[in-house]
Amino acid sequence: MNIKNFMNIERSLSASHTENNKDLIKILSGKLKRLGREKHYFNTELQHYWPAEFFGLHKSSLFNNCNEHQRIKILTECSNHLLREAYFIEKSGLAYCAKMVLLADTTEVAQTYSLIGSDEATHLQWITPYVTQEYRTQPKGEFLIYLTELIQQGDSSCLMYLLQVILEGWGLHHYKDLSQHCQNTHLKKLLADIVRDEALHHKTGTILFKPEKLSSAQRNFIQDSLASFLEMVRVGPLAVVSHVEFVLGGLNNAEKILLIEQLSGPKTAAIKLKILKQLMSIPGCEKFIDHLNAKKMFTPYSSAQCV
């Protein structure tokens, strides 16, 4: 089935989300309550949910020389970035599952993705109060643009591997990290609950993905998509650098290089690249790793190269 002509993932992610339809909100809340998955939100005013240590900022001379107002502002910007990204990841999950239901070749597969879609809808409902309405449309950032294009362009086999085996596996590590270091008790529990669902989604991908059935074109698509994602990881914590620069009003190259070094950028990137390499290491996918190794895609950039 060719669904590209009528499925616009970007439009789906940019859909309004005002929560003004009280009747629909009541239905959503009632359904989650019956399933025992309703969350009672506490005060969600913008604040820094993760400490300086989580971002490595405690080691930055630039950050430590800021006044208290600037430090709080930087941490708030970093925290909000993570929450907005999580919001759109869950919103992307809805679009992905809708596509996979339409592409399913058996009823069981369609049922599976319908249930996974229910999880994504639940996670989105949980995360939404932490993201102000103005940031619920038009996903921004290189990763979210990459994710949108991936869902739009990929076929079911490619997406099973790229989204569920790799990105869901990556998400497990990411959400665990967010949960463990979160300073807000309620958000900490919420993120831990998401991890449990994501583990099942990841496992489903490893079960359904059949590498031996991939065509040459599909293998090339996967290799190119993996390379694009690794390229984003290799550059290290540039998002944190951009938030520091936003608050302080601009940094020169020397300040950026020093900041990346003090954030342990290349070291942190190397750890993440190792995790991704392990996720890729499933039977039948060895050639992907060989191809990426040959291009040195598992090697992080130096601090100077990042700038």
3-state SS, 29-67, equals: HHHHHHCCCCCCCCCCCCCCCCCHHHHCHHHCHHHHCCC
93: Cβ contacts below 8 Å, ≥ 6 apart: 116, 117, 119, 120, 123, 124
- Asked whether the beta carbons of 284 and 290 are under 8 A apart, the reply is no
3-class state of residue 143 by DSSP: helix
pTM for the whole thing?
0.89
- Asked whether the beta carbons of 97 and 117 are under 8 A apart, the reply is yes
Quote the strand ranges of 182-299, DSSP E: none
Give the Cα separation of 275 and 190 in Å (integer): 24
Give the Cα separation of 149 and 131 in Å (integer): 23
Q: Domain spans of the chain?
A: 52-306
Q: Which pLDDT score, from 0 to 100, does residue 14 have?
A: 67
pLDDT surpasses 70 at 35? no
Please write the tens of the pLDDT for every residue from 161-215. Answer: 999 999 999 999 999 999 999 999 889 999 999 999 999 999 999 999 999 999 9
Please write the tens of the pLDDT for every residue from 112-159. Answer: 999 999 999 999 989 998 998 888 888 888 999 999 999 999 999 999
Query: What is 52-306's CATH number?
Result: 1.20.1260
Q: Which residue has the higher pLDDT, 35 or 64?
A: 64
Give the Cα separation of 298 and 294 in Å (integer): 9
Q: How confident is the model at residue 97 (pLDDT cuts 50, 70, 90)?
A: very high
Q: Which residue has the higher pLDDT, 14 or 290?
A: 290
